[in-house]
Structure 1
Amino acid sequence: MAVDSFDVHELAAHKDEFAKAYEELKSRNLSLNLTRGKPSSEQLDFANALLGLPAPDYVSASGEDVRNYGNDKGITDIRAIWADLMDLPVENVLAQDASSLNIQFDLISWAMQFGNVDSERPWNQEPVLKWLCPVPGYDRHFAITQHFGIEMIQVPMNEDGPDMDVVEKLVAADPQIKGMWNVPMFSNPTGVTYSAEVCRRLVQMETAAPDFRLMWDNAYMVHTLTDEFPEIHNVIAWAEEAGNPNRVWAFGSTSKITFAGAGVAFYASSKENLDNYLAHAGIRGIGPNKVNQLAHAKFFGDAEGVREQMRRHAGSLAPKFDKVLQILDSRLSAYGVAEWSKPTGGYFINLDVVDGTARRVVELAKEAGIALTGSGSSFPLKQDPNDRNIRLAPSLPPMEELEVAMDGVATCVLLAAAEKASA
């Protein structure tokens, strides 16, 4: 959004008005936080029944005592539920410990040290490594590739997913591009869901690197804000049909479905990829937390039990998202100084402000006692080339605090835009 997308003179004329409103905001001595997409206490309470499970029975469907060592794959009881949700055979899904980010980190770490099943050599022996990063995107994904010194290439996001013309051109020409981050449903932070066409192009495209991988983080695949659950595209099957059976490393978790720090994570892929993962995981440890896995399997019962849990979450989250959108519309629409997403799922609202003012908005909010995610956080190395993007996380605060915080954010957006218009 360029500075000339609104009436500069009209906006500058309101600067004193906005400055006065901002001073009143600061005088309230607020301490509010919109930085991370954490579930609220109300949402966490939805899973309290887990605390009494799996007692009194600790035996899985296959007859193993889950309190003991073993079974690197995780128990079939919970794997079968996630396989059903992902439209996959249970053999293609592993259940692990709480965080899918841990699995993603491990896979890249092991590829660095050993290569993956399609690699000619370990990745740390490559002259340079590159990775595609759709933007805006998930900051923790970018932190992993940054941690390993992998060069990150920004790819624009469209309404149906990453710009595939750009992606296909890049991966076909450069064998050093080894992978691509993806949050294919209710993407963080835009809320975009990849179309079937984009998914098929990703698994079918020609890549110069034979060991290219799609990191398919389907963390929000059931995180609807309505009563409707979008279709989950079976990219693992599509990749196999396209002759690229090992291309997709897919992930999911219960982290924002039950307890955020004590859930179950899932890794889904081809048999060859899973066997390779287990060869390393079996050295690293002696099996995941199967007690927690059985507790979750009993809590959900089946895939429909997961969806029912997510309807409870939607009942808590949707009013908060509606409130944020209402405030943004009532405070900002008339001035044309911002654009924002209107997601139907996920945990975030993507806010684009006047170019060159996002950092200032975050700074003003901080001085007024409102913590926002840092500007640029949704970009590799935190470098937003236009200094326009801000990620809003409405889930954690109580409604009354959220309303105050968002009204304050709107004031900061207006003041920053007026300052630029007056410069």
Structure 2
Amino acid sequence: MTSAPVSPAVSLADLDPDALRSVHAEFAAAYEELKAAGLKLDLTRGKPGADQLDLSNDLLHLPDGEYRDAAGTDLRNYGGAVGLPELRAIFADALRVPVPQLLALGNASLTVMHDTIAQALIQGVPGGELPWGRQQISFIAPVPGYDRHFSICERYGIRLIPVPLNDDGPDVAAVAALLETDDSIKGMWCVPVYSNPTGAVYSEDVVRALVSLPAAADFRLFWDNAYAVHHLGDERPEPIDVLGLAAEAGNPDRPLVFASTSKVTFPGAGVAFVGGSPTNVDWIVRNMSVQSIGPDKINQLRHVRLLRDEQGLAAHMEKHRAILEPKFAAVQGAFEARLAPYGAGTWTSPGGGYFVSLDVVDGCAKRAVQLAAEAGIAVTPAGATFPYGDDPRDANIRIAPTFPPLDELRTALDGLCTAILLAEAETLLAAKG
């Protein structure tokens, strides 16, 4: 559904040295024209574009003088540590977390994930004998993956162990082997729907395996369901009840579910969610009780008034889809027109989310990104999708098409393709002497 690579018709690698030198000269001339254009374009981060942000501009005047929730509580005051039940109910089904086990908090799920790890390092988690900070700690990192997940672990000296990410989720055999042999592993990063950057969607079989594998009682799946409602087509993956499957497997405390409205409404003024077993939720609430007396409940009420219910959320996301679908189509069109004829790379065709994952010839991703940058096209650094920025193949480039206007995106993609073709030709010429 999401990650089938496009098969090239011809490959630069199949050309003899003379033919390769000829196309290299063509690519070099095209690149010089590109640099002369004086572009200044940005494909670095998966941010909503201005037209997407405009969809939520009603938040700027909502809640229209209202300040009480459905129960009549004055939301201007202290309290309400777990967030508005009405807002939690809007997202509960999409995240497959019961409302009593879902908390609505501040504006960034990354903050909640960071704080959860910090509390685990200091206090330990339910079921653990020691705080994580008093042990050697490792996390499993499916790759390619999300650089900000990796940054949290890197900041606190948590060793990251990469495992392959397949179209249906992490390589279960690799995960099982690591858990069997390395008792320092206490966590694993997961983006189960439209994974960043490949667009992979975890299958139920993979999820059942992940919640069932033998592991320490304080092993946690950091289940970042950031793109659960961010669909690009009519085919929608059925949400998986990871909490229910974990309870069924006898490991109810294993998953910690995170999400936010960052790409639903305003990233700068959204709402983050965290869910888990009753035991995990109690642990999180106790930790929060010494940090905050409550989240921004007025902002949560704004979101309730804007989205209203599950159907309202779905309708709102269809407006996002209408803006984003042509941008993702532009990526596919550019790569098929410019790269496919030369066999220059394979890429994913995601069914949702915010990214496309592109693999170029081994050893030339950094060079391609460098060439693009020198021509005025900023791209996510090569290697960012791997722990410590180290892609052992130097092949993966994350494409973030959402932020630029469509005409700028097409220009940037065309220029990036020129840089990739030149980088691949250089790399192959060097290999052939």
Q: Structure 2 length as normaliser, TM-score?
A: 0.95
- Matching residue of 1:43: 52
Q: Counterpart of 1:361 in structure 2: which amino acid?
A: A
Q: Structure 1: which amino acid aligns with 2:66?
A: D
Where 2:252 maps in the other structure, the secondary structure is: coil
1:84 CA displacement? 2.5
Change (3 A) 1:391 1:205: same
Alignment partner of 1:269 out of 260, 263, 276: 276
Matched-pair contact (CA < 8 Å) for 2:12–2:343: no
Q: Does 1:115 align with 2:124?
A: yes
Q: Judge conservation of contact 1:253–1:264 (CA < 8 Å) in 2.
A: yes
Contact 1:226 1:311 in 2 (8 A): no
- Cα-to-partner distance string for 1:9-58 (whole Å, 9 max, x where unaligned): 34333111000000000000100000000000000000111112112321
Long gaps (5+) in structure 2 = 6-10
Per the TM alignment, residue 4 of structure 1 is displaced from its structure 2 partner at its CA by 8.3
One-letter amino acid of the counterpart of residue 129, structure 1: I
**Correspondence for 1:89:** 98
What is the CA–CA distance in structure 2 between the aligned matches of 1:283 and 1:225, rounded to whole Å?
Answer: 41
- Counterpart contact for 1:6–1:335, Cα < 8 Å: no
Partner of 2:329: 322
Task: Give 1:236 deviation, angstroms.
Answer: 0.5
Alignment equivalent of 1:220, drawn from 209, 227, 233: 227
Indicate the SS of the match to 2:289. helix
Tell me if structure 2 keeps the 8 A contact 1:227–1:311.
no
Aligned 8 A contact 2:44 2:380 in 1: yes
Partner of residue 137, structure 2: 129
Q: How many residues are matched?
A: 420
2:115 pairs with 93, 96, 106, which one? 106
Of 185, 210, 213 in structure 1, the residue corresponding to residue 193 of structure 2 is: 185
Measure the CA separation in 2 of the matches of 1:43 and 1:8.
48
Unaligned runs of 5+ in 1: none
Q: Partner of 1:377 in structure 2? A: 384
Q: Is the 8 A contact 2:12 2:344 kept in 1?
A: no
Q: Is the 8 A contact 1:220 1:346 kept in 2?
A: yes
Displacement of 1:108 in angstroms is 0.5
Q: Match of 1:154, SS?
A: strand
Instruction: Please state if 1:74 is matched with 2:83.
Output: yes
Instruction: Write the distance in 2 (CA, Å) between the matches of 1:219 and 1:5.
Output: 38
Aligned residue type for 1:312: K
Say yes or no: does 1:14 pair with 2:20: no
Q: What SS does structure 1 have at the residue aligned with 2:173?
A: helix
Deviation, structure 1 residue 8: 5.2
1:18-417 paired onto structure 2 within 5 Å: 18-126=27-135, 128-207=136-215, 209-417=216-424
Q: Residue type matched to 1:117 in 2?
A: P
CA deviation vs aligned residue, 1:131-169 (integer Å, no higher than 9, x gap): 100000000000001111011000001111110010011
Contact 1:32 1:370 in 2 (8 A): yes
**Which amino acid letter does the alignment assign opposite residue 336 of structure 1?**
G
Task: State the alpha-carbon separation in 2 of the partners of residues 159 and 97 from structure 1.
Answer: 32
* Distance in 2 between residues matched to 1:134 and 1:99, nearest whole Å: 22
Change in Cα spacing, 1:309 to 1:8, as seen in structure 2 (3 Å) is farther
Identity %: 49
Letter of the aligned partner of 1:157 in structure 2?
L
Conserved? CA contact 2:12–2:20, under 8 Å? no
CA contact (8 A) 2:12 2:425 kept: no
Query: How far, CA to CA, are the matches of 1:12 and 1:34 in structure 2?
Result: 30
